[in-house]
Structure 1
């Protein structure tokens, strides 16, 4: 959900003070990177899963507060839309059979949450974009009651000075072109965030590796082909999130001003590069200041919270976001991978995460890193192509040239993922279970997005209109989600 704020509007003096504090935090952070000890007893991973709520007719239901009261579990929290909730998974190490235990824990947790949600007349849908969400669902109160969300909405539109324009065209020619007077469309973008704790001197290698494979993650994991009734990109979250939080006017875009949702523009040599870019390029959206004196704390040998720097970082939406955090008084660094959509099943999600962690490990440890042989723009082109075309995308990869994404995974990246997970100490049975799902998915040429499209097409061929086909598809999707059978094995109408 992000850091809480106490206000929805700010004075000029608050903004000036905030800028000063952010720059002070950045200076202290730079000193910490060279002199401070960061927590790294065990390499931990974590996960956040954003979820949707629907009624018995497969329509979004705006009652997350009631659902959360019914679930009564602090691991579940509110999200931007009243039809969204989020599940936060406690950090844990990766070796051995830990992933199997996590899969079992997630299924138990979600099954219980589903049971409690039903008592509040809601069902949980783990899917990238809820396919039945329509413009009319945002004509009444849709935003969760949280000051941070209201403040973000106010700040984005104050910066723009005009309504948002959403313009996305799909491969079949279907196009969504509309204006929005709030950030409501952003609430449709539900994702899985994968966290990886990293030592400071190894952060750049791991971030560069994560950037390099972000497109491949989308190709094999796309699960968001529909929005507002239109068939758009296979992972429509990517352009939708970029456009639904864009603080730039047309003129600022023409000047080359960076967007808040950002792939980036270069490979890095330190985590400091990313925080420094945040401070240099992006004005404050939520200029809340604390009373902390980071210099005094640092010079006393303590770890400052750097609250302003962290809050500012939370309003720059990189697909691989750097995180500085404090736990029990000890600072640590981690990468938050925000590329993947939610769903389709816990098993599919675990497979996606195993692939990510395994490949990143090997690429980051490589003596001749892939980012020294591939331009950053090529990685960004891969990202866009895979978001648009999903598992049918073609990408560029050093040593392979132009190659289909599924072929690259099968021939090259899956063996790297196996090797990387083995280096983490992950058990053979775990590697075989999760990476076997990725292999079978690529051989079948089916992921969540392609299954959704095929299902809707099948229902429309039976005479259903688009709205009925989307509802029917989502009902079948929820059946598959609860089965925990991988999406490439699901039946079609």
Structure 2
């Protein structure tokens, strides 16, 4: 084991061995895929859920780090000290499986909240905090230590007097350590390579806020849910993947929940009402894309797949970002040999899995996973649906999970022609939904093969085919209605969480308070309602 900055510097120096192992491991996975090793008996569901913590009471709440003992329960650590992740283990995609997903998320969230409450913290189901840490958002996110180089804290200062340093891989080069980031050397390597590519500081620009950070940590303001849908017949995988891309716009429009940064990010605002009008419904996307897209478009809508093996080849072809070798952190001398002769290729693909973890696409194919009795073993091929923001309640979260999974299943089983929608139109719809939510200019292909921009037609088919897919998977009508009705109610009312947030901030501004106070009051109401109500539609 080597110290943090030495490992980061080693990654920044690069290693030819990394790309060679990724290529060899992908070849073994490709052979196994062709041999049918990733085919399974039945589909499964899984879920990742990201949350953040607040300290204090009412409108005085502030973003806060989570103590380590909170993670002794079901929660996992994430990029920022204020972040946590909960994971529902995969279950069969059927009625019992949906119930299992909901129960696990509910139980794990309750246990994590109980541990956090011992420290006076509130675990929040939200996609982006609208309130700052106690020391201020910029001070918290840009709290960076410079180690090494021409002396600690070296580098020419920027306009604010901060040393701006370009990190490097040579022994005498500086390494940056963001104090409020988890001290995992792989996080540190990703952070430093992005900063290096940006020339020492990463610009971040959204309506009303223009700033820069010496770290990617502003990405940690964004929290998401990620439904996972395992496809049992891998020959079908390209169709699932490509249809997922074409559903991005409508599903993001329905789920939008991050229209505001913490209030102190905006500074003096001459026209706060105009800012509320112009801000995008989803700032999470900008935070992630702008933090990591340095010198390449790492974070984006994925290219279409023609063959299941494309899910592997696209990872291999992607830009290698902060490469890491397994033995650097596990003290293994001969890991290159492990699994190369016999054995399971999915369990001997550490470097490939690491690179796939930096293959940041809004829809991602993943080879490998967990065994589920009666459904699959550890060798499976799944769709990770990654653009959806964390929702206000568990019922909303599971609702979006089953909406996503049911829709993909329904479109495939009905041989729906949505896949004929050109990729460019799918990408444009996605970014339109990010900006305008339910008012976005979306494009769809109907079941009759007709191109349409009529939102009434689009959302009618979306819920129809989601219900068809759930029915196909044996999810009974009561379960379908329990989880889909509250999401469909958003469309009927024309109100999503982001639209609700904008409306509440407007009302507080009309009462004469400044923008930061209006955001704090809205956040207070959001947090309280998310704990008191069963689903978001009950707020409207």
- TM-score of the superposed pair, with normalisation by structure 2: 0.81
Q: Quick check: 1:91 aligned with 2:134?
A: no
Instruction: Give matches, 1:63-212, under 5 Å.
Output: 64=66, 66=67, 68-70=68-70, 72-73=72-73, 75-133=74-132, 134-140=137-143, 141-169=179-207, 175-199=208-232, 200-212=234-246
Q: Which has the larger radius of gyration?
A: 2
Unaligned segments of structure 1, at least 5 residues: 170-174, 249-257
Counterpart residue number, 1:285? 322
Distance in 2 between the 1:333 and 1:226 partners?
Answer: 36
Q: Quick check: 1:215 aligned with 2:249?
A: yes
Deviation at residue 61 of structure 1 after TM alignment:
0.7
Contact 1:347 1:486 in 2 (8 A): yes
Query: 1:266-287: per-residue Cα shift (whole Å, max 9, x none)?
Result: 3211232233223224123233
Secondary structure at the counterpart of residue 206 of structure 2 = strand
Counterpart residue number, 2:19? 19
From 389, 392, 407, the equivalent of 2:439 is 392
Contact 2:52 2:126 in 1 (8 A): yes
Contact 1:15 1:284 in 2 (8 A): no
Counterpart residue number, 1:452? 501
Deviation at residue 327 of structure 1 after TM alignment:
4.2
Distance in 1 between the 2:503 and 2:87 partners?
Answer: 32
Counterpart residue number, 1:254? none
Q: Quick check: 1:308 aligned with 2:328?
A: no
Distance in 1 between the 2:69 and 2:359 partners?
Answer: 31
Counterpart residue number, 2:430? 383
Counterpart residue number, 2:298? 260
From 481, 485, 495, the equivalent of 1:432 is 481
Unaligned segments of structure 2, at least 5 residues: 144-178, 267-275, 328-333, 372-376
Secondary structure at the counterpart of residue 247 of structure 2 = helix
Distance in 1 between the 2:309 and 2:409 partners?
Answer: 21
Deviation at residue 108 of structure 1 after TM alignment:
3.3
Query: 1:172-219: per-residue Cα shift (whole Å, max 9, x none)?
Result: xxx322222110111111100111112321211111111110111100
Counterpart residue number, 2:54? 54
Contact 1:53 1:124 in 2 (8 A): yes
Distance in 2 between the 1:54 and 1:301 partners?
Answer: 43
Q: Quick check: 1:345 aligned with 2:393?
A: yes
Deviation at residue 434 of structure 1 after TM alignment:
1.3
Shifted more, 39-48 versus 445-454: the winner is 39-48
Shifted more, 436-445 versus 267-276: the winner is 267-276
Deviation at residue 459 of structure 1 after TM alignment:
1.3
Secondary structure at the counterpart of residue 61 of structure 2 = coil
Shifted more, 282-291 versus 44-53: the winner is 282-291
Distance in 2 between the 1:13 and 1:456 partners?
Answer: 47
Counterpart residue number, 1:274? 311
- TM-score of the superposed pair, with normalisation by structure 1: 0.88
Deviation at residue 155 of structure 1 after TM alignment:
1.9
C-alpha distance 21-236 of structure 1, shift in aligned 2 (>3 A): same
Q: Quick check: 1:34 aligned with 2:34?
A: yes
Contact 2:30 2:312 in 1 (8 A): no
Counterpart residue number, 1:245? 292
Contact 2:44 2:93 in 1 (8 A): yes
Secondary structure at the counterpart of residue 114 of structure 1 = helix
Secondary structure at the counterpart of residue 87 of structure 2 = strand
Query: 1:86-108: per-residue Cα shift (whole Å, max 9, x none)?
Result: 11111112312442443344333
Query: 1:326-367: per-residue Cα shift (whole Å, max 9, x none)?
Result: 547842221111111011111111111121111100222343
Contact 2:257 2:496 in 1 (8 A): yes
Distance in 2 between the 1:168 and 1:404 partners?
Answer: 28
C-alpha distance 151-428 of structure 1, shift in aligned 2 (>3 A): same
Deviation at residue 240 of structure 1 after TM alignment:
1.7
Query: 1:247-282: per-residue Cα shift (whole Å, max 9, x none)?
Result: 21xxxxxxxxx4111212x32112322332232241
Report the number of matched residues. Answer: 467
Counterpart residue number, 1:253? none
Contact 1:127 1:223 in 2 (8 A): yes
C-alpha distance 374-401 of structure 1, shift in aligned 2 (>3 A): same
Query: 1:47-80: per-residue Cα shift (whole Å, max 9, x none)?
Result: 1110010111221012x2x2x414631x201111
Distance in 1 between the 2:364 and 2:47 partners?
Answer: 14
Contact 1:216 1:386 in 2 (8 A): yes
C-alpha distance 461-427 of structure 1, shift in aligned 2 (>3 A): same
Query: 1:79-130: per-residue Cα shift (whole Å, max 9, x none)?
Result: 1111111111111123124424433443333233222211112111111111
Distance in 1 between the 2:100 and 2:318 partners?
Answer: 42
Distance in 1 between the 2:79 and 2:344 partners?
Answer: 38
